[in-house]
Amino acid sequence: MWIYKYDDQFIYMPGEELNVNENDVIPENYTEIPPPLESYIAKYDPRSRKWKETASQNYIDSLKTKPAPNDLELLKKQNALLSKQLTKLLAMRKGGTSE
């Protein structure tokens, strides 16, 4: 069976799992209760024998990456930049400036 390690503050330590026999004594700071699959900072409660998420929403959001812009968004940005450059070039040709 697999057992899962947590530190002195009961925070799950990924990569520290051990595979032990059913009759083996579970070492200190380990539990046979698996942490949630989709957790960021799982904390074990030995009294209730359950894991809970302790990461703040700000922390979770900071780990998420923004999706890349789609082709239409990229074309809109390029069009805006090219329009601005064209306006500047036309203004320079007429002898004025456009800022």
Question: Residues 53, 85: one domain?
Answer: no
DSSP bridge partners of 42: 53
Query: What is the secondary structure of 32-70 as a DSSP string?
Result: SSPPPTT-SSEEEETTTTEEEE---HHHHHHHSPPPPPP
Q: Identify the pLDDT of residue 69.
A: 83
Residue 72's domain comprises 66-93
Q: Identify the pLDDT of residue 96.
A: 63
Q: What is the pLDDT along the chain (99 residues), one digit of tens a residue?
A: 999 999 999 999 999 999 999 999 999 999 999 999 888 999 999 999 999 999 999 998 888 887 888 899 899 999 999 999 999 999 888 876 555
Structural contact between residues 3 and 16, judged by C-beta atoms closer than 8 angstroms: no
Q: Is residue 99 part of a domain?
A: no
Question: Residues 51, 74: one domain?
Answer: no
- Residue with the two structure tokens 């799982």: 42
Question: Residues 57, 20: one domain?
Answer: yes
Q: Identify the pLDDT of residue 77.
A: 92
Question: Residues 37, 52: one domain?
Answer: yes
Tokens (6 digits) for 13:
């330590």
Question: Residues 56, 85: one domain?
Answer: no
Q: Identify the pLDDT of residue 63.
A: 86
The strand pair at 30-31 and 50-53 is best described as unpaired
Q: Is residue 28 part of a domain?
A: yes
Question: Residues 58, 70: one domain?
Answer: no
Q: Is residue 75 part of a domain?
A: yes
As for how many domains the chain has, the answer is: 2
